[in-house]
Chains A and B, each alone.
Chain A
Amino acid sequence: MASKVIHAIYTDDDILMQAVKQVRGERYHIEEVYTPFPVHGLDKAMGLAPTRIAITSFMYGLVGLSVAIVMMNYIMIQDWPQDIGGKPSFSYIENMPAFVPIMFEMTVFFAAHLMVITFYMRSKLWPFKKAENPDVRTTDDHFLMAIDAGHHDVEKLSKFLYDTGALEISLIENDEDH
Chain B
Amino acid sequence: MYTLPSKLKLFAIIFMVVGAIGIISGFLTAPSTTAEVKEMMAGHHEEGHGEDHDTATMHDVTAGSATAGDHGDTAHDSEEAHLEHTLHQMQNRPWSALYIASFFFFMIALGTLAFYAIQYAAQAGWSPVLFRVMEGITAYLPIASVIIFVLLLLSAFHVNHIFHWMDPELVNPESEHYDKLIAGKSGWLNVPFFLIRAAIYVLGWNLYRYISRRNSLRDDTAEDNRWFKKNFKLSAGFLVFFIVTESMMSWDWIMSFDPHWFSTLFGWYVFAGMMVCAITVIAMVTIVLKSQGYLEFVNDSHIHDLAKFMFAFSIFWTYLWFSQFMLIWYANIPEEVTYFVTRIEDYNLPFFGMLVMNFIFPVLLLMNSDYKRVNWFVILTGIVILLGHYVDVFNMVMPATVGTSWYIGLPEIGSILFFFGLFVWVVFTALTKAPLLAKRNPFIKESKHFHY
Contact = CB atoms under 8 A, between A and B. Distances in A.
A112 B332 CA distance: 34
B330 A86 contact: no
Contact of A100 (B322, B367, B369): B322
A100 B326 contact: yes
Contacts of A86: 332
Looking at chain B's contact residues, the main secondary structure is helix
Nearest to A55: B368
A97 B332 CA distance: 12
Interface string A69-113: 000000000000000001000000000011010000000000000
B330 A58 contact: no
A73 B246 CA distance: 41
Interface string B319-346: 0001001100110100000000000000
Interface string B360-378: 0000000101000000000
B367 A97 contact: no
Nearest to B367: A58
Contacts of A58: 367
A86 B330 CA distance: 10
A55 B218 CA distance: 48
Contacts of A54: 369
Nearest to A97: B326
A64 B332 CA distance: 29
Nearest to A98: B330
A108 to B, nearest CB: 12
Contacts of B329: 97
Count class of interface residues, chain B: under 10
A86 B334 CA distance: 14
Contacts of A100: 322, 326
Between A58, A97, A98, A100, the greatest number of chain B beta carbons within 10 A of the residue's beta carbon is seen for A97
Contacts of B322: 97, 100
A100 B325 CA distance: 12
A54 B368 CA distance: 9
A86 to B, nearest CB: 7
Contacts of B325: 97
Contacts of B369: 54
B449 to A, nearest CB: 14
B331 to A, nearest CB: 10
A54 B332 CA distance: 39
Nearest to B370: A50
Contacts of A98: 326, 330
A96 B329 CA distance: 11
A29 B369 CA distance: 30
A161 B367 CA distance: 42
A142 B329 CA distance: 59
Contacts of B330: 97-98
Nearest to B326: A97
Interface string A45-61: 00000000010001000
Nearest to B332: A86
B71 to A, nearest CB: 29
A126 B332 CA distance: 50
A86 B329 CA distance: 12
A62 B258 CA distance: 39
A97 B326 CA distance: 6
A4 to B, nearest CB: 38
B175 to A, nearest CB: 38
Nearest to A87: B330
Interface in A16-72: 54, 58
Contacts of B332: 86
- Of all A-B residue pairs in the complex, the 9 with the closest CB atoms, nearest first, are A97-B326, A97-B329, A98-B330, A100-B322, A100-B326, A97-B325, A97-B330, A58-B367, A86-B332
Interface of A: 54, 58, 86, 97-98, 100
Interface of B: 322, 325-326, 329-330, 332, 367, 369
12 contacts: A54-B369, A58-B367, A86-B332, A97-B322, A97-B325, A97-B326, A97-B329, A97-B330, A98-B326, A98-B330, A100-B322, A100-B326
Given A86-B332, A97-B326, A98-B330, 9 more contacts: A54-B369, A58-B367, A97-B322, A97-B325, A97-B329, A97-B330, A98-B326, A100-B322, A100-B326
